[in-house]
Amino acid sequence: MSQFTKTLQFPVINKSYEQPIGLFINNEFVAAKSGKKFAVTSPVTEEKLADLEQAGEEDVEVAVQAAYKAFKEWKFIEPSKRAALLLKLADLVDRDRDLLAQIESLDNGKALHCAKFDVNLVFEYLRSCAGYCDKIDGRSVVTDDHHMSYTKREPLGVCGAITPWNFPLLMFAWKIGPALATGNTVVLKPASATPLSNLYCCKLIKEAGFPAGVVNVIPGSGRGCGNAILNHPLVKKVAFTGSTGVGKQVMTEAAKSIKKVTLELGGKSPNIVFQDCDVKQTIQNLITGIFFNGGEVCCAGSRIYIQATDEKWYHDFLQQLKATVEKLKVGNPFEADTYQGAQTTPDQFEEVLGFIEEGKKTNLKLLTGGNRIGTKGYFLEPTLFYDVPQDSKLTSDEIFGPVGYLRC
């Protein structure tokens, strides 16, 4: 076994696998220059899963230089060959779909059915990106009878990517897919809480035959590793997915070297329910909108506005919703029929509990939930408040957990 591999055990299903724990630079797993490591822990048990190499500024420099060197050849590779490599990677993800879903649940805490949903999207998305490789072209513009102008689209160079912990593998694909399809190379920093599936995918990138340096994955802290990516002059584009607050910092840092920036930030999405709806189907849609992935979704439909002229219908609807929500199984993501697993990080777990306590403290009406489950692991009851006023903190702030509110 390599020094950059650790055997990890999945709970419940009695299965183990070999997890890469090094930085992935130039198609090899390597040690951090500083010698520093960081622990990745299970949100289900709160126990350490593994110690990983922790990337710092020196490692960013090495990774960016590798990506820049690779770019000089990768940008000239025929679109059909880039497409073939992306299709091969998609096939490998498809081949290892069950294992990747299990790694995602182990590291993130999400229910296995959610992780399987993510992985299916990953290989389909990579195939879609492959299909775009030979469709990126310019325009011919006739300006008058004697002149014609043309435009040509060219790759930028090294692209930096910083991904979140709620959809680790899916965000990995969303970042590398478009970059590689358009002839760019990538230095990606996964969330330090959930890097395991990304590092496993690095094995597949190498197996697929991508040239060394085209994709580099370096787990580390936001301040040490993330800022070094944002400030590096050879990184021409940064794609970030995360909170609005951090997104502002990303834009500020990237502006210092005038990079292109793509930000995918938080939200507070509404659902509107009309009295003539199919109640059973609507309740299922609301549950998916709020509680899928433990509510850790930037477009979670946590605001529910109900248009009802009949007060009895409104209260009957609330009771049916309450009864259905209380049937959802919350627990170990590997157990059968688990709908909602653990919240991913201890900080987010405490923040969501803070929102719930705020609701109780301000005497909001609690329809269901509102408590921690057990004393080990970051488990929360699916929680709904109702008749919540518009000036409540629960109305205005993104909760990013299994908490929603209703208002008629």
CA distance 321 to 338: 19
For the chain, how are helix, strand and coil distributed in percent, rounded to 5?
40, 25, 35
Residue with tokens 């496993």: 200
Handedness of CA 193, 197, 203, 209 (dihedral sign): negative
CA distance 366 to 327: 17
> Which tokens is 126 given?
């990579």
Q: List CB contacts of 312: < 8 A, sequence separation 6 or more.
A: none
- Provide the residue type at 248 as one letter: K
Q: List CB contacts of 146: < 8 A, sequence separation 6 or more.
A: none
CA distance 166 to 377: 16
- Pairing assessment for the beta strands 383-386 and 365-368 based on DSSP bridges: antiparallel
CA distance 88 to 86: 5
DSSP secondary structure code for residue 292 in this structure? G
Q: Which residues does residue 304 pair with via DSSP β-bridges, in sequence order? A: 271, 406
Helix axes 279-291, 311-325, angle to 10 degrees: 50
**Three-state DSSP class for 250?**
helix
- In Å, how far are 191, 218, 247, 271, 401 from 224, measured between CA atoms? 13, 11, 16, 39, 27
Nearest residue to 231 (alpha-carbon basis) of 68, 71, 23, 61: 61
Distance of CA 170 to the CA centre of its chain: 6
Determine which one of 264, 335, 351, 358 is catalytic: 264
**Is 264 among the catalytic positions?**
yes
The residues that are catalytic are 264
